Amino acid sequence: MLNVLTKQNSAANHFLAEIRDKDLQQDRMRFRRNLERLGEIFAYEISKTLTYVPAEIETPLGIAETSLLSEQPVLATVLRAGIPMHQGMLNVFDQADCAFIGAYRKTKKSGTFEIRKEYVSTVNLDNRTLILIDPMLATGKTVVLTCKELLDDFAIKSLIVVSAIASEEGITHVQAFLPQAQLWVGNIDSELTSKAYIVPGLGDAGDLAYGMKE
Ligand SMILES: O=c1cc[nH]c(=O)[nH]1
């Protein structure tokens, strides 16, 4: 299932516009904060799709009836670009367990690249809802590789993938290899460069948030 945040106009349009804007994105704090704000909006929207149980809250004056999440999802992030959106989602799912994955593109002599995954730190994901956060869904290969390994290792109950900007190719790849995933994206862009950057995209999200890597 594909959900596009900007299908309906909202404040999210502004945050997406600002992270794309080549002048505004030079303000690193604003860039990170906008990704964080998008994470908060995604989390709020996704929270409407989760399971709730009836609850009673004791106030100073009586008992208030409500419904609360039956469990918090697990938030998983691909380092390092995912960190600001991860924090935004954690602001909403504020008791969530977290998982962190270190993955990078290893460029070959031919100019093509493969995804290398080195570091995984996760809680037990058996019977949990896993939300994988990757702000830029370019080829979709990192997300598929990461999720497939986690799905092999754990009996994950449901899988949600969240990206601020996704390419059409990335969405097709995820839908083909992770048909069970619910996909939440901010905007969809049509092009990928030969180096797998999204066009118009925004550039390199990790570099803009944390500085140019070597
Ligand atoms: O366009 C892209 C693609 C992958 N990662 C980025 O940061 N930007």
- Find out whether the beta carbon of 12 lies less than 6 Å from any atom of ligand 1: no
- Find out whether the beta carbon of 137 lies less than 6 Å from any atom of ligand 1: no
Closest Cα to atom 8 of ligand 1 = 204
Q: Which of 147, 185, 181, 143 is nearest to 168 (CA)?
A: 185
pLDDT value, residue 3: 98
The minimum-distance atom of ligand 1 relative to the CA of 208 is 7
Identify the band that residue 198 occupies on the pLDDT scale cut at 50, 70 and 90: very high
Ligand 1 centre from 136 Cα, in Å? 5
- Find out whether the beta carbon of 81 lies less than 6 Å from any atom of ligand 1: yes
Closest Cα to atom 6 of ligand 1 = 204
- pLDDT tens track for 66-78: 999 999 999 999 9
Domains contained in the chain, CATH given: 2-210 (3.40.50.2020)
CB-based contacts of 185: which residues, under 8 Å, 6+ apart? 2, 3, 4, 5, 137, 162, 163, 164, 165, 166, 171
- pLDDT tens track for 150-179: 999 999 999 999 999 999 999 999 999 999
pLDDT value, residue 115: 82
Q: Is the pLDDT of residue 64 over 90?
A: yes
Alpha carbon 8 to chain centroid, angstroms = 19
